[in-house]
Amino acid sequence: MAVQTRLDEARAVAPALEAAEIDEVLRIVPGKRAVLAGHWQGRPAVFRMVERAEADWQAREWAEVARIWPQMQGLRYRVAEPLAYLPEVCIMVVERVAGTPLMEHLWSLVPGARGAPMQQAAAWLRRYTDVSESWRAARPEGWLARAERARGKQPFARLRQIEAGIARHLARLAARQQGVEWRMAICHGDFHPNNLVLRGERLTGIDLGGSAQMPVCKDIARCLAHMGRRGLFSSERRRLGVDAAALDQFAETFALTETERRCTLPFFIGIEALIRVENRSMKRGRIRHAEAMYSALRDDLAVLPG
């Protein structure tokens, strides 16, 4: 009802919304935003409506979609097309992408057949970051501080114990990065297979609200850790707690340097493990997968060159 009230008020202010058709509520984050589905000028569309407090965040998201759209509208790799931005009512409209979330597609395949879709995912991210890539001095301290804050919120004693070991090894990796440069770019910010939609040979990225200038290895680590803590693998080998085959595919696609392979990417996989905190409402299977991933990550970090 609150969403409907907001829509009615928005239509009174923004005449362009009069012809918009809203058919479905996809998601509501109370006090922040609502994501709706419908049609804009006859095209399937997603309407992202935010509260005033989130207006600056939405403006940045729209600016990013508009920036990357000219680079990402190809036959194979693209983002959802930006359709309209109505800042006076805090609504942006983007294409509603047809297809299957890549995560769902990967689960439908036997492990040995998951390599090709993961190669596509790596190529999509490479295309996204390539146009803004640069190199800057490593700054691991802020990431360590963020991980330490998150680690204090871990509710499971067994995971807290494993994470303490990961944190010790991350401190050692951070010290190794004195004088090292990180590959930086405007990244997706929340890059994982549920934010990629597959249709035939075309892969479309969605939900760019987290896009920002950051280390490219952070986005790679986000994808690998997201899959690892859910037990989704394309091979029988783990490395750093994640799928070794997928890790190799990203490393090859980005032509990662030896330092990135042995220091920067391991560092950010560890950061990802710590900043995504489990909660007691999660299914037991998720907790088991997290424990297996974190234990393997801790053990592999321990034997990395110091």
Domain coordinates of the chain in residue numbers? 2-95, 100-302
Task: Note the pLDDT of residue 4.
Answer: 84
pLDDT tens digits for range 274-301 = 999 999 999 999 999 999 999 999 999 9
Banded model confidence at residue 306, pLDDT cuts 50, 70, 90: low
Does pLDDT of 151 surpass 70? yes
Question: What dotted CATH number matches 2-95?
Answer: 3.30.200.20
Q: What average pLDDT does the segment 261-274 reach?
A: 98
Q: Output the pTM of the full model.
A: 0.94
CA torsion through residues 37, 42, 44, 45, sign: negative
Task: Note the pLDDT of residue 233.
Answer: 96
Q: Which amino acid is at 31?
A: G
Q: H helices within the chain, ranges in order? A: 2-13, 55-68, 102-108, 115-130, 140-151, 157-176, 216-228, 244-253, 258-259, 265-275, 284-302
Task: Note the pLDDT of residue 5.
Answer: 86
- Given the candidates 3.90.1150.50, 3.40.1010.10, 3.30.590.10, 3.90.1200.10, the CATH classification of the domain at 100-302 is 3.90.1200.10
pLDDT tens digits for range 38-58 = 999 999 999 999 999 999 999
CB atoms within 10 A of CB 22: 18
Average pLDDT, the chain: 95
